[in-house]
Structure 1
Amino acid sequence: MGMFAQSKTAKFDFTGESAYGMTLLSGSTKEYNADPTVCTEGDVTLTLNGQTRWWKATNGNELRFYKGADMTFKVPEGNVITKVELTAKVPAKFESAVGTYANGTWTGSANSVVISTNITEKNTPISSAVVTYQSSSAPMKKDPALSFSETTASGVVGEAFVAPTLTKATTAAVVYTSSDEAVATVNAETGEVTLLAAGETKITATAAENDEYNGGSASYTLIVTTPALDVVQEPYSESFETEFGSFVLDNVNLSEGLSYVWSIDKKYKCAKASAFVNKKNLPSESWLVSPWIELSCAEVERNLYFDHAVSKYFGNVSEEATLWIKVEGGDWTQITSIAYPEVPQDKSFSPFETQAVSLAGYEGKKIKVGFKYVSTDEAAGTWEIRNFKVCSGDPSGINEINADKFDVNAPVYNLAGQRVNANAKGILIQNGKKFIK
């Protein structure tokens, strides 16, 4: 390795089922880890100071830091820390009085490094910390200085995409990778990206350590969407798992403090409308509107399906979360036959329920479907929509209609989308499935 020192690394991992003797906390507990808590990996010690919690999280456990808390990394005398990389599901909000801290990574040269929180409320979590260190008696290897010109980029399937520019100081070869190759692939040598499907992936450029430079990496988040269409033909569907697809937003009224109402909730894989911001109900009117949908002239059963869930915070949900249809050349008409899921007494949200709305009378026409959300300064509920589908034929054969595990107590609807008694006769729908009684 010539005159330069060989770097070593130590990784502190908080995602598993045990973490340095700490108690895994969750729920509404007010407990914190002992202050201080000392964690050890090889030659490196990590001391947690102030209020921290090792927390049970849905997508892997994490270590949470609260206002005023910090972490101290230390290596044996005769060694120096050159890099600390913090991994988090959300941007890690920390700072350091020594070295340089940016975007979750500390760089510098110190035997002991203190990284403190930079928050005023709530908390900032990490899932792991990787410490790079070396002997202080040998010359320092250089920083590879890998950096993309943008940390976030977006592209549309079928359209040309120009990747952010990578700059580097290292003389080592760079290898490009994509975290989700179903969304986009990347040429390992050139960094050229091919967009494949809607979703989100992380494009990473990695350089190995060599005789002169430390190893390192840089990445950007790539958000891929599908092209929006003005006109579609049945059968037509949008899942709303990762994007609005060809639906568009019409913000009729956004009061001060609101920049949007409708968003994609990637955790629950749905389109979500809410005007509750900073613990305040804000007046609004916002529509989620489909493209024009061309319906065939065939005289067959044709329905609109969607799953929806509501919160308990509406003033009057049947007036503030409504469904509308417009025929080309006509005006919007409210569909009053839809039913709303019931919110359990001890819950804030209802479960998702499938709605079936008859499109009888619309044969051969071109229609738009609109989900209208309204809020006031007294009430701002949350409305969630997923698995939108317009089709003819037997809905039980449509694999895009995602019904949960069959529930014999689930609401029953007729083909007009009206909620009926479970003992009703005729063609009925329950759990998104059609049956005859």
Structure 2
Amino acid sequence: MKKFNSKIVFTALAVLLTASCTNVEDVYIETPTSDVIYSETFQNGLGDFKAVNVLGDQVWTYNSSGYAIMTGYENSTNYANEDWLISPEIDLTNIASAYFSFDYAMRYSNDPANDATVWILADQAYSPDTLPNASQWVKLDLKPFVDPGSWTFSNSNDISLNDYVGKKIRIAFRFISSATKAGTWEIKNFIVKKGNATVNTELIYSNPFGSGIGDFTTQNVLGDQVWNFSSQYASMVISGYSETNYANEDWLISPEIDLSSVSEAYFSFEHAGKYFNNPKNEATVWISENYDPSLSVSNASWTQINIMNYFTNTNFTFVNSGNLDLSDFAGKKIHIGFKYVSTISYAGNWEIRNFKVFKGKAGGIESNPFSISEAINYQSGGSAWVEGYIAGYAWPFLNGYAYFATNDTCTQKTNLILADSISNEGFYSSKALCVQLPRGNIRNLMNLKDNKSMAGKKVKLYGTLSTNMGMPGLINPTKYILPDGTSGVSATTIIFSEPFDKNLGQFSILNKKGSQEWTFSSGYGAKMSGFYNSANIENEDWLISPTIDLTNYTGAALSFDHTINKGNVANMRTEQTLWISIDNGLNWTQLSIPNYPKGTDWVYVNSGEIDLDAYAGKVIKIAFKYLCTNSSSATWEIKNFMIYN
């Protein structure tokens, strides 16, 4: 038995300090056994891996975007190289079964089967200061890494280590290039886990859209714009914009895909998009068991599929959709359709390529939840099951957040942090997941203030993968499974909502200073900035809700999504604030916003739950107050405002 020590982790430094809390209570828990044996995301460097150069001047390095990279191409010239990236010793001596996986991007190689290979050294001494002797290493028999035509990362799938259990091993990535051809290999999210590898690489169907539409078909339901093949981007493309926005509904539909002989399957694709108002409503994927290509799509029944990973809607960078589960359709014959919608107000551009259907089990489902390191890679608003150990909680601190590896009496009820493993040294915020705990069963059963014995326990949760409290997160969880097998569903009742997806709704604007005002911006929601005509202009502007009646409720809370950029980050918590009134706006009381965005990009974050229990039984108004000065004027964008029970 070990003490679960009171620790605090600061975001910038990831340094562990003793938490200065009153009434600290030492709680003894049993240290759990993690399924993760070793992991390295390469998020902050090469970690314990060693770069060993055998030939050439180029070497394995770390890219600040969060991956290890090796290329023999430099200054427009190919160079001959042999370079190894070698893991630290990984101990499998007391392990019954194990496997590993990683994400990679491989491009421009002459022969990937020889230029990008993976090797293992077992039960032999090795010094990273010496050159690896290939005769001592075993080359793994893996399928060659394929150049997808973009820098989109793919997953290696699980690679079994069962031949090496009971031993101590090192795993190495060997890169080779020549003066004739030099590729580039990028690697991240390396993880070794206990258990048997899931073999899920049997391809059932594929259409890369590299040279045309293939055996897909299109259906135009509304508008003159249609799906077309783009040779420039090697993808299928649709846009409702042609010198102006047009209303459209267009489908890109697969041929019949036969899953009658499989028990598990999933599919994936790459997509890019921009100029949408809300991609989750306008760029969607559907499945039908009774679609007849000779009839309209409206004659068939369609089920919408959750896209795990959406494009950013700010550029045309392709992203992988994630592996999307087809287990509900195993044993059946189906069609998969991409549905595009536009209006005269907004018309996005959607590009799709590399569509594939596989036999096997998708990740992120209840029977195969994401590990925490896997969930960190899907933070664009898709929904999934995740599994991890309760490692602590987060709380606003000064102008940022503090992360506590503790279950002492200073904890709160609104979030907890999950990690792939528990350590006496705490955790790195970049390698953990902050889970929002909505009011109801999930909060009541898991919060560390009331349930200290949950610290260190392994749980499963289903929710939306999105940044929370300044770190990778899971928000709005609706399903849970506790260590003892107890499971349940948590639901909320919406009292009032305004998505700000078409206009400002019933909200009103109040301009107290400056000539700039709150406006609606298609795709970005309610928007306010004091920056105009290349100058900062001092402003005070309020965005005020209609009256909201809580007289029939015993409790309530609110949340919203927002982003802030182009201002002074240190001033966000004083210049972009939230207020409440119980006397029709005569007097206002400030409410604390738990979760602010970084303030340096356009990434939306959820505000976190804002408690309104003190105002139950009253009639209220909510207001967003914006301030700026002549020296600094941020832009504040808000959407998906919701008050719920």
> TM class, shorter-chain normalised?
0.3 to 0.5
Q: Normalised by the size of structure 1, how large is the TM-score?
A: 0.36
Whose helix fraction is larger, Structure 1's or Structure 2's?
Answer: 2
